Amino acid sequence: MKICRTVEETRAAVAALRTAGQRIGFVPTMGALHAGHMSLVSLAKTASEATVASIFVNPTQFGQAADLQSYPRDEARDLAMLQEAGVEIVFLPEVTTIYPPGHETIVETTHLANILHGKIRPGHFRGVTSVVTRLFNIVQPDVAVFGEKDYQQLQVIKRMVADLHMPVEILGGPICREADGLAMSSRNLRLTAEDRAAAVVLSQALQAAEDLAKTGTTVEAIRDVIANTIATEPRATLQGLDTVTADTLDNLHGPLTTPLAVMLSVQFSDILLIDQKVIQP
């Protein structure tokens, strides 16, 4: 596995694979890798012949300096996991490599970035699209994989790629869950034991919603069953519950007749966990 820290090294390493006729798959990450990330690597490997991963804790997508400081970092462990998974190239840039001194260019999806989670985390998706554009320009992948867990992020990136005619195919990787149903996330490591046990309520709420949808129901009844399930757990505070169309993320109401994306965010002490499910009518 080749480790590249500069734009030039990365471009040269990718070019060598491309010259050998290989289709390039890309998995951008912020490190603190877990089985969820590794499932994205597996998906990239099935969709390409050579896989590039990046590890970059992107400062422009963090609202608060404290969150950026406390973001878990373990480069040696991450590299060992990527090597084990058979990744060909890892791009590990410095902040000044991605954002050169004097940088002033941002990329933003003006609507999708500023609704739903974008309202709670102003500037977050602008930071994501600004970094992903830079990473795409450096790596120039044929296909890139993003987790469906960050559902709005996936839709924002698909919109950006379509709007800017970026020559890259975007694939969504299904959510990986712990044995009790909790969606895998690097944030889970920061939960207390009690909050970790309580956090199962997110997936339980989404499952209750899916079960209800099988009987034919309304969006309002789905919202109620989710809110009521979260309310059964005293350690959990419901922060966001969005019930929207699966692609354009417009609010849905009334009888469930089209696929419904449910995006849930729940606070445990100072940790915000998210989960989502697309529910079929």
Q: Rounded to whole angstroms, how far apart are CA atoms 84 and 91? A: 16
229 is a site residue for ligand PAF (CB under 6 A): no
Q: Is 32 left (phi over 0), alpha (psi -120 to 50) or beta?
A: left
Please identify which residue in the block is written with the tokens 């804790």. Answer: 57
Using CB under 6 A as the binding rule, the residues of this chain from 58 to 87 that contact ligand PAF are 58, 61
SS3 210: helix
By the rule CB under 6 A, 90 interacts with ligand PAF: no
| Residue 132 found at the interface with ligand PAF (CB under 6 A) | yes
Torsion of CA 146, 149, 155, 161, to 10 degrees: -10
CB of 145 to ligand PAF, least distance (A): 10
Q: In whole angstroms, how close is the CB of 46 to ligand PAF at the nearest point?
A: 20
Q: Using CB under 6 A, which of 13, 30, 184, 260 touches ligand PAF?
A: 30
The only residue of 25, 28, 93, 141 in contact with ligand PAF, by rule CB under 6 A: 28
152 binds ligand PAF per the rule CB under 6 A:
no
CB closer to ligand PAF out of 121 and 277: 121
29 forms part of the interface with ligand PAF (CB under 6 A): yes
Minimum CB distance to ligand PAF smaller for 78 or for 233? 78
Active site residue 103: no
Nearer to ligand PAF, 136 or 268 (CB): 136
Per the CB < 8 A criterion, the answer to whether 199 and 273 are in contact is: yes
With b meaning 16 or more CB within 10 Å and e meaning fewer, what string describes 228-250? ebbeebebbebeebbbbeeeebe
Residue 131: CB minimum distance to ligand PAF, A: 5
34, 37, 103, 165: the active-site residue:
37
Binding flag, residue 150, ligand PAF (CB under 6 A) = yes
Helical residues (DSSP H) of the chain, grouped into ranges: 7-19, 35-47, 65-69, 75-84, 95-98, 117-120, 124-139, 151-163, 193-198, 201-214, 219-231
Q: Which of these ranges, 22-30, 88-96, 177-185, 268-276, lies near ligand PAF under the rule CB under 6 A?
A: 22-30
Residues 6+ apart with CB under 8 A from 228: none
Question: In angstroms, what is the minimal distance from the CB of 221 to ligand PAF?
Answer: 32
Residue 144 binds ligand PAF (CB under 6 A): no
Size of the site for ligand PAF (CB under 6 A): 10
Q: Buried b / exposed e across 17-36, counting CB within 10 Å, b at 16+?
A: bbeeebebbbbbbbbbbeeb
What are the residues binding ligand PAF (CB under 6 A)? 28-30, 58, 61, 128, 131-132, 150, 153
Indicate which residues carry an active-site annotation. 37
